[in-house]
Amino acid sequence: MTTTLEFHEKIALLLDSVNSLTYSYLEPQEYDKWLNYANIRVLKQRLFGTTPDGVAYDREVKRVDDVQPLLRLANLAATVSSTRYQAALPTDYMFNVEVYCNIVRTEDPYKGQAQRVSVDFGTLDSLRGIVGNRVNELYQRKPLYNIYNGYVYIAVDENTTVNTIELRYIKQPIAFNLTTNTITDL
């Protein structure tokens, strides 16, 4: 792990090596601003890729290893409203990696058994459409989620109850700050 002061020194050396007169007058706060911007940009490249198909050049294993210090797992208590459940996101949440639910079904061969299932992403309209829609009965067998306005929303059919929501996410990286000489996450 590297400190903010070390990053500032490396940037100053690079700017000196290119004989840049324009950037020699940057204040430490400006260095911090650009370092924080670059930190988020690198994080997005590692997670979501830089190619049109959304896969990074160095593929999935390397991407996960690079962001491992920022990866968190949260078990969230779900509150119910009809067949839609919601839970507040953690305060340090930045990007979603995976969502799982611990559910119990009231019908089917799995009646009464607790299951841990992965949850598919759905638009807010598709989450609203599940409630009372008998046409999409097969589609409803798997819960749908959406993250909006500080909450994760889970929609299920009327025969399913959600006990907890497991959220695997990327936390916000520690911001560069020369006055406190913070240590970076990546």
pLDDT digits (tens, 9 = 90+) for 134-161: 544 544 567 888 898 899 998 887 778 8
Q: Lowest mean pLDDT: which of 15-19, 52-56, 177-181?
A: 52-56
Residue 51 has pLDDT above 70, yes or no: no
pTM of the shown model? 0.73
For residue 160 the two structure tokens come to 């399913």
Q: Do residues 7 and 13 make contact, with C-beta atoms less than 8 angstroms apart?
A: no
Sign of CA dihedral 19, 21, 24, 27: negative
For residue 113 the two structure tokens come to 């058994």
What average pLDDT does the segment 56-85 reach? 74
